[in-house]
Amino acid sequence: MTALLEVEGLEISFGSLAAVRGASLQVNKGETHCLVGESGCGKSVTALSIMGLLARNGRRDARVLRFDGTDLLALNERAMSRLRGNRLAMIFQEPMTSLNPAYTVGSQMIEVMQRHRGATRAAALARAEELLARVRITSPGMRLGQYPHQLSGGLRQRVMIAMALMCSPELLIADEPTTALDVTVQAQILRLLSDLQKDLGLAILLITHDLGVVARTAHRVSVMYAGEVVESAPVAQLFTKPMHPYTRGLLDCVPVPGKVRRDQPLGSIPGMVPRMTQSFRGCAFVERCTLARPDCAGEIVRHRLAAQHDYLCQIPPDRVTAP
């Protein structure tokens, strides 16, 4: 398996806030790597930092940040912008922050292709229309002439997906791409992405809160908590043998169709993610963890359960009770 994206020891900070603290992950060609974790744990900023799109007040540092062998840390903004939207594309979490309300869908879609590929307006328009149809938008011609606010949430989301695919990227970073969609469209879009993956070897870094999507699309899953990757495993392992107490809590919160009871509270993890600073030591989950013990305030061990499965927690594998 060839690594297309390699991230090691990623650190992101905003002033005193340590948003990402030494995260590592790898996305291979033709593979879907899902990134999950509580709101605010640093998933989106991780994605943005790979794209070189962190807000100005953000600082990025890493031991390794490579795309297809190219050291992204060494690229200047001009070189980076040649990759972005081209070989490396992103679907943003907030459609309205990446769709400009002042321009029609069509003009925003063709702009990327004219810029990177020097395509003619007509060719770019044809491609845009074809992609809108592929993401199951009807009357694509009419939609090209519309402004973002005239679309429903689900339509906007699909426009974003089509836009990211304009230049046939090798790596697609998708931040909650199907959250606003109904499940039938979600299934169709996920099948489309999986077809592209099979046909073109597309690598996908998929950020999602939906553990159903994770279970059905991921090859590998990384779970983040308070800026760290606290567990990483092949998908089947993660669901059958979750090791980190946070991962285990997370799986309990999911209302499972056909198994939920009305008027009975769902499993939840009381409390919320703490705000992290650079000087923080110990496990960030300690205050919410039912298995916490005194040494959780010290240096935390990364246990390895299998070649591809590791987790960051003091409790050794044989002491984690079966789910």
Ligand X SMILES: Nc1ncnc2c1ncn2[C@@H]1O[C@H](COP(=O)(O)OP(=O)(O)OP(=O)(O)O)[C@@H](O)[C@H]1O
**Site residues for ligand X per CB under 6 A:** 14, 17, 19, 37, 39-45, 55, 57-58, 93, 150-155, 180
How many residues does this entry show for the chain?
A: 323
Q: For residues 197 and 201, what is the distance between their CA atoms, to the nearest angstrom?
A: 5
Candidate ranges 25-33, 43-51, 190-198, 245-253; the one touching Mg ion (CB under 5 A) = 43-51
Residue 265 CA: distances (Å) to CA of 55, 56, 250, 292? 39, 42, 15, 24
Whose structure tokens read 């927690």?
313
> 19 is in the binding site of which of other proteins, ligand X, Mg ion, none (Cβ under 5 to 8 A by kind)?
ligand X
Q: Shortest Cβ distance from residue 219 to other proteins (Å)? A: 10
> 235 is in the binding site of which of other proteins, Mg ion, ligand X, none (Cβ under 5 to 8 A by kind)?
other proteins
Residues in CB range of 30: below 8 A, 6 or more apart: 197, 198, 201, 202, 203
Among 7, 47, 137, 203, binds other proteins (CB under 8 A): 137
Query: Are the CB atoms for 290 and 248 separated by under 8 Å?
Result: no
Among 40, 58, 201, 282, binds other proteins (CB under 8 A): 40
Among 13, 44, 98, 186, binds Mg ion (CB under 5 A): 44
Candidate ranges 13-21, 116-124, 160-168, 251-259; the one touching other proteins (CB under 8 A) = 251-259
Whose structure tokens read 């309990």?
252
Among 17, 80, 123, 187, binds other proteins (CB under 8 A): 187
Binding mask 255-294 for other proteins (x = CB under 8 A): xxxx-xxxx-xxxxxx-xx---------------------
Candidate ranges 60-68, 152-160, 196-204, 296-304; the one touching other proteins (CB under 8 A) = 152-160
Q: Is 73 in the site for other proteins (CB under 8 A)?
A: no
Nearer to other proteins, 269 or 320 (CB): 269
Q: Which residues bind other proteins (CB under 8 A)?
A: 36-40, 94, 96, 136-139, 141-142, 145-146, 150, 152-155, 157, 179-188, 190-191, 194, 209-218, 235-236, 238-240, 249-251, 253-258, 260-263, 265-270, 272-273
